[in-house]
Chain A
Amino acid sequence: MDSIYEVFILTSCLKLLLIPAYRSTDFEVHRNWLAITHSLPLEQWYTESTSEWTLDYPPLFAWFEYCLSQLAAFFDPRMLEVQNLNYASPATILFQRLTVIASDFVLLVGVKKCADTVPGQGTYLTSPRVRLAALTLGSAGLIMVDHIHFQYNGLLIGLLLISYAHMTQGRFLKSAFFFTVLLNMKHIFLYLAPAYFVFLLRNYCVTIPAGGWLPRPQLANTAKLGLVVLGVFGLSLAPFAALGQLPQLVSRLFPFKRGLCHAYWAPNLWVFYNLADKLAVFGARRLGVSVPGSAAASMTGGLVQDVEHALLPAVRPAATFALSAAAMLPALVTLWRRPADAAAFLRALVQCALCSFLLGWHVHEKAVLLAVVPLAVLALRSGPEARLYLLLSAAAHVSLGPLLFGGREAPARLLLAGLHAGYAAQALPAAAGPPSRAYTGYLAGLAAVAVYDVIGHRALGLDGRWPFLPLLVTSLYCAVGVVCCWLALYWHMLFRVEGGQKIKVR
């Protein structure tokens, strides 16, 4: 048996054990979507609002839920009743958890395809395939978010990896197909589209003769690409366009009424902006200057709410888009200048994900996984990128910890993050020279922050006075790490990378 399947079995067994673990409201979200797609006709999917968790993923994900709902009927038909809010019978929990575990099979397929691009030998237990499988199928972040909190990121990242694997083999149309399908399952992947656009443009839609600079369009290729992309979008959106529901769809998919930050601040650049604003308010109060509005209220309240900045200028969605786009530009330019380099493509994908994570509007902390999980493929190939991966993944996993409420999951938060980091440290290639003091110091601090968040704060008796403090500290500390990795990746991309991974350009 291919060792990758054994890793899949091992991680699936662990995930089976997690069936009784904590579930977030996302569990009810997906139960609701099962009910909507099963019990209601198509025209009501995006208009239905009995539950507050309305359908806000693109149509192909709705069809995925529809297919699942056919199987759900065998476990407990009552979960498919739209009115049956917050229904969570043991059969429902078992079914939903099993679907997440089973859908990780797509991740397995993606990993299997990518594993062939990773060089190296090793023994049965330490081969690159096994290491890649362990870091992705057994990713602490995916386990925490998918199999405890409850989501389907494994499935989606699997599709991304499949698309990438096709790209490494020069199968542009297949790659574009899978990516378009992915876009129509979760539109957050739009942030990665610029990298696809640039790479496909440079390597498939035009050619630039060696030595020259003038691009010559490849009309046949472009037409085929257009056909594939438009075809998938058509299949996905046509039924709703025919019903005149496209504006409704857009309003569901892009709800800009939500605030700059999610209830718990994702560790991105806006953390610093928010903090600066809070400090400014604090300073102003001390100086006796009057502060407009009531913006001193909790920004990390338990519910989604608009964040208002009191003193610093307010941030609007358009500004975040512009900033993200600007941040991505160097990555895209570098990608253009490195034709037919699959590793550069992956690096650009990761960088696009990071840029959008750091500067985007209403970013969820879970979005960091879009950058972390694919980075493992690069990490297996070079020491510097391995070091980067270790820091980024450690910061990401600690930042995801607060998603698992309650004391019961506390050991898991620490053990999963710690085991992932420990395994990565000894399984990934070593970089030349020992890590800097700042690097190891940051990692040690990360462990301290994790412990502080889990029990330290309560043990110090501060629980009553400043309940928001552990979240704030976690956000801030992890943001520092993520930003440093982002900058380091740019440094690496722009100045350090030598050889690449050539693809066969047809």
Chain B
Amino acid sequence: MDSRYLLVLGLGLLLRWAVSLHPHSGQRKPPMFGDYEAQRHWMEVTHNLPLADWYRNTTDNDLLYWGLDYPPLTAYHSYLCGAVAARVDPSFVALHASRGLETPEHRLFMRATVLVADLLVFLPAALWFAVALRRSRAVTLTVLAVLVLYPGLLLIDHGHFQYNGVSLGLMVAAAAALLGRRDATGAALFSLALNYKQMELYHALPFFCYLLGTCLRQRTWAASVGKLAKIGAATVLTFGLVWLPFLVDAQRAVEVGARLFPFNRGLFEDKVANFWCSLSVVYKVKQLHSVAAIASMCLSTTALFLLPTNLLLLADPTPHNLLLSLLNSALTFFLFSFQVHEKSILLAALPAAMLFPDYPLSSLWFLLASTLSMLPLLLKDDLLLATVATTVFFTVAVNMATGVLDAGRRAAAPKQRSRLTTTSGGPPADPCSRWAVPALYLSLTGYAVLALTSVTVSPPERYPDLWPVLVSLYSFAHFAGFFLYYHLIQFQFFDEKFKVC
């Protein structure tokens, strides 16, 4: 274990702590506040009420006030935090009385829970994945740094306030397990991730196809069936253990299901950088079609675009294809599915981070675009300063470590996984086209301009949502471009003329 890995992890922790000094979602905004209050409320509910009532609308549990809408593992986590909270100060989780609590001591407690969650789940998972890649020390350090310093996750978890680090960490750990050929462990870990946040369904198909593909590729039928059985058993066992208290009574399970998949909430809420929201600027989808029609449109487009990447993965289940499919599937869901939130882009960003060693420039660009696409949300939370600081830090740190923005250092770097091979002899060629970096800078400038106008200029009266819409459209253009690009990469469309970067 290289001591430098610990330094990178320590730096990640320090940045997380520093971001947590900044405002959280819904700060001082009664009556509903924000995600911070939601998480606090779940600690209150799970601590005070019996398990049967957690997902049920009762006099003590008003589901309209931040009712639980994540699977049971989140509920157990909230229960654990609530137990600790009660030990520290019972007023933190006092039933009803603690609504809207925002004292400094309580804030310290809440921020600490996220820090501890990252310390126990995300950071070890990132380290495991980086080491599981079995590359050089430099590459391991780099990918660890990218995972641990990624501003999007820092800002949402430790600024806005959420626990994405747990579900994403479990997913990263699952990928690490699969890299190390521990398929059953990987299946169990991913099941845990899925049972923490149902958004991980975006990643379910790739994991499924990879595991199925691996089983089918075994030497003998017996081995295939045996492997399939092991993986199936691990998955079923994990699900069973998590849902056990809720399977005692069928009614309980139904209640959970209703909370997890609320189809009555509509195609999208706030402005989000996906296909439907962008289309709605010119063609009012929500008004012209019924909910059922919209739902089936989303289903068919998503299913259609999911097929290519996942079928390829099924046919050729390599770890590299797994990561690409995770990215492409998450992006497909983000662009075409129903009820997408801007934070869901994190599900695509993490696989992109995991692919950094292979496609440094595009990965960096995607990670930055994904962070900045959440600007409307971050600006609402007063996190502009934190956004600028973490994003600039990330870019400069990654560039210092890898020289990704500098053509000379890119050319000198050892060849990664490029399908292109330079002819032996002759000077090393820059793997990126010479327009790539200027384009990245231009894209960042666009975001900077949008951010600046959002805070200084008030929108015209006719279009009060102008700035969020512009940011969404701008980000959609980026994501659509990346969608195409990563599909082309996965299907190896590139030759010497079009460089992979």
Which residues of A are in contact with B by a Cβ distance under 8 Å? 3, 6-7, 9-10, 13-14, 16-21, 124-125, 130, 407-408, 411-412, 415-416, 418-419, 422-423, 425-426
> Counting CB contacts under 8 A, is B10 at the interface?
yes
Q: List, in ascending order, chain B residues with CB within 8 A of A10's CB.
A: 393, 396-397, 400
Given contacts A7-B400, A20-B21, A124-B400, 15 further A-B pairs with CB under 8 A are A6-B400, A10-B397, A13-B390, A13-B393, A14-B15, A14-B393, A16-B389, A21-B21, A124-B403, A125-B400, A411-B14, A411-B115, A419-B7, A422-B3, A422-B7
Assembled-state Cα–Cα distance A412/B409 (Å): 34
Contact of A415 (CB < 8 Å), options: B14, B104, B388: B14
Pairs A–B under 8 Å by Cβ, sample size 6: A10-B393, A17-B15, A17-B22, A125-B401, A418-B10, A426-B3
Q: Is B175 an interface residue (CB 8 A)?
A: no
B385 adjacent to A16 (CB under 8 Å): yes
Is B21 touching A419 in the complex (CB atoms < 8 A)?
A: no
Q: Which residues of A contact B104 (CB under 8 A)?
A: 408
B interface majority secondary structure: helix
Looking at the complex, which one of B10, B108, B385, B386 makes contact with A419 (CB distance below 8 Å)? Answer: B10
Please measure, in the bound complex, the distance between the C-alpha atom of A10 and the C-alpha atom of B13, giving whole angstroms: 16
Number of cross-chain contacts by CB at 8 Å = 78
Residue of B nearest to A16 (CB): B389
* B371-408 contact mask (Cβ, 8 Å, vs A): 1 or 0: 00000000000000110111011001101110100000
One digit per residue, 1 when the CB lies within 8 angstroms of any chain A CB and 0 when it does not, for chain B 215-245 equals 0000000000000000000000000000000
Report which residue of B11, B21, B108 has the largest number of chain A beta carbons within 10 angstroms of its beta carbon.
Answer: B21
Q: Across the A-B interface, give the 10 residue pairs with the lowest CB-CB distance, nearest first.
A: A17-B18, A13-B393, A16-B389, A20-B21, A13-B389, A415-B14, A411-B17, A419-B10, A17-B389, A9-B396
Whether the Cβ atoms of A17 and B386 lie closer than 8 Å is: yes
Docked complex: B250-304 residues within 8 A CB-CB of A: none
Contact with A along B1-25 (1 / 0, CB 8 A): 0011011001101110111011000
Chain A residues, CB < 8 A from B393: 9-10, 13-14
Do residues A422 and B10 form an inter-chain contact, with CB atoms below 8 A?
A: yes
Residues on A with beta carbons closer than 8 Å to the beta carbon of B390: 13, 17
Q: B14: nearest residue on chain A (CB-CB)?
A: A415
Q: Are B108 and A408 in contact (CB under 8 A)?
A: yes
- In the bound assembly, the distance between CA atoms of A402 and B252 in angstroms comes to 51
**B108 CB contacts on chain A under 8 angstroms:** 407-408
Distance in Å: Cβ of B407 to nearest Cβ of chain A: 14
Say yes or no: B399 contacts A419, CB within 8 Å. no
Q: Which of A9, A17, A125 contacts B19 (CB 8 A)?
A: A17
Could you tell me the distance between the alpha carbons of A407 and B17 in the complex, rounded to whole angstroms? 12
Interface size class of B (residues with CB under 8 A): 20 to 34
Name, among A16, A17, A415, the residue most crowded by chain B CB atoms within 10 Å (CB to CB).
Answer: A17
Residues of B within 8 A of A419 (CB): 7, 10-11, 14
Q: Nearest B residue to A415 by beta-carbon distance?
A: B14
Are A416 and B21 in contact, CB atoms less than 8 angstroms apart?
no
The answer to whether A415 touches B13, judged by C-beta atoms less than 8 angstroms apart, is yes
A422 lies within 8 A of B400 (CB) = no
Write the nearest CB–CB distance from B378 to chain A, whole angstroms: 14
Query: Please, which residues of chain B bring their CB within 8 A of the CB of A418?
Result: 10
> What's the Cα separation between A6 and B397 when bound, in Å?
8
Q: How far is the CA of A375 from the CA of B389 in the complex (A)?
A: 30
Known contacts A10-B393, A19-B385, A408-B108; A415/B10 CB under 8 A: yes
Name A416's contact: one of B7, B14, B115 (CB within 8 Å).
B14
Bound together, the chains give a CA A415 to CA B12 distance in angstroms of: 10
In this complex, what residue of A is CB-closest to B10? A419
A305 to B385, CA, bound (A): 40
Q: Taking A17-B390, A19-B385 as contacts, is the C-beta distance between A6 and B14 under 8 angstroms?
A: no
Closest to B111 in A: A408
Q: How far is the CB of B311 from chain A (nearest CB, A)?
A: 41
For B397, give the chain A residue with the smallest CB separation: A10
Query: In the complex, what's the smallest C-beta–C-beta distance from A89 to chain B, in angstroms?
Result: 15
Q: Are B13 and A411 in contact (CB under 8 A)?
A: yes
Contacts of B6 in A (CB 8 A): 422
Known: A419-B7, A422-B6, A425-B3. A17 touches B21 (CB 8 A): yes
Measured CB to CB, the nearest residue on chain A to B109 is A407
CA distance A210 to B166 in the complex (A): 72
Give A151 Cβ to nearest chain B Cβ, in Å.
19
Give Cα A273 to B6, complex, Å. Answer: 40
Contacting residue for B18 out of A7, A14, A125, CB 8 A = A14
Give the chain B neighbours of A412 by CB distance below 8 A.
14, 17-18
Residues of chain B with a CB closer than 8 A to A6's CB: 396, 399-400
The distance from the CB of A171 to the nearest CB of chain B, in whole angstroms, is: 32
Q: Which residue of B lies closest to A408 (CB)?
A: B108
- Complex CA gap A225/B387 in Å reads 50
Tell me, in angstroms, the Cα distance from A20 to B397 when the chains sit together: 23
The docked-state distance in angstroms from the alpha carbon of A9 to that of B6 is 23
- Considering the chains assembled together, what is the distance between the CA atoms of A3 and B406 in angstroms? 12
Nearest-CB residue, chain A, relative to B17: A411
B17 close to A426 (CB less than 8 A)? no
Q: Which residues of B contact A9 (CB under 8 A)?
A: 392-393, 396
Whole-angstrom distance between the alpha carbons of A449 and B392 in the complex? Answer: 35
**Bound Cα distance A426, B115 (Å):** 26
* Whole-angstrom distance between the Cβ of A110 and the nearest chain B Cβ: 21
Q: Which residue of A lies closest to B104 (CB)?
A: A408
In the bound complex, residues from chain B placing their C-beta under 8 Å from that of A411 are 13-14, 17, 115
Asked whether A124 lies within 8 Å of B409 as measured between CB atoms, the reply is yes
Q: How far is the CA of A3 from the CA of B15 in the complex (A)?
A: 21
- A-side contacts of B115, CB under 8 Å: 411
Nearest Cβ on chain A to B151's Cβ, whole angstroms: 10
Query: Which residues of chain B have C-beta atoms less than 8 A from A416's C-beta?
Result: 14
Once the chains are docked, how many angstroms separate the CA of A408 from the CA of B111? 9
Q: How far is the CA of A54 from the CA of B470 in the complex (A)?
A: 51
Which residues of chain B from 343 to 397 have any CB-CB distance to chain A below 8 Å in the complex? 385-386, 388-390, 392-393, 396-397
A428 to B351, CA, bound (A): 35
Residues of B within 8 A of A422 (CB): 3, 6-7, 10
Residues in B neighbouring A408, C-beta threshold 8 A: 21, 104, 108
What CA separation (Å) do A13 and B397 show in the bound complex?
11
Chain B residues in 8 Å Cβ range of A423: 7
| Nearest B residue to A13, CB-CB | B393
A425 to B385 Cα, complex, angstroms:
32
Q: Which residues in A have their C-beta under 8 angstroms from that of B399? A: 6
Point out the residues of chain B lying under 8 angstroms from A426, CB to CB. Answer: 3-4, 7
Q: Which residues of A contact B400 (CB under 8 A)?
A: 3, 6-7, 10, 124-125, 130
| Closest-CB distance, A397 to chain B (whole angstroms) | 14
A133 → chain B closest CB, angstroms: 11
Chain A hits for B397, CB < 8 A: 10
For B385, the chain A residues whose CB sits under 8 A away are 16-17, 19
Q: Looking at the assembled complex, report how far the CB atom of B15 sits from the nearest CB atom of chain A, in whole angstroms.
A: 7
CB distance from B99 to the nearest CB of A (A): 23
Q: Mark B198-211, 1 if CB is under 8 A from A, else 0.
A: 00000000000000
Best-buried of B14, B19, B385, B403 by chain A (most CB within 10 Å): B14
Question: When the two chains form the complex, which single residue of B3, B4, B7, B389 contacts A14, counting CB atoms closer than 8 Å?
Answer: B389
* CA distance in complex: A9, B22 (Å): 20
Bound Cα distance from A17 to B15, whole angstroms: 8
Contact residues in B for A17 (Cβ distance below 8 Å):
15, 18-19, 21-22, 385-386, 389-390
User: Which residue of chain B has the shortest Cβ distance to A19 in the bound complex?
Assistant: B385
CB distance from A4 to the nearest CB of B (A): 11
- For B386, the chain A residues whose CB sits under 8 A away are 17
Chain B residue with minimal CB distance to A411?
Answer: B17
Chain A proximity of B437: nearest CB distance (Å): 13
Contact of A20 among B3, B15, B22, B409 (CB under 8 A): B22
Least distance between A10 CB and chain B CB atoms (Å): 5
| Interchain nearest-CB distance for B143 vs A (Å) | 15
Whole-angstrom CA separation of A415 from B397 in the bound complex:
19
Tell me, in angstroms, the Cα distance from A356 to B304 when the chains sit together.
75
A419 to B386, CA, bound (A): 21
Q: In the assembled complex, which residues on chain B have CB atoms less than 8 Å from the CB atom of A3?
A: 400
Closest CB in chain A relative to B181 CB, distance in Å:
32
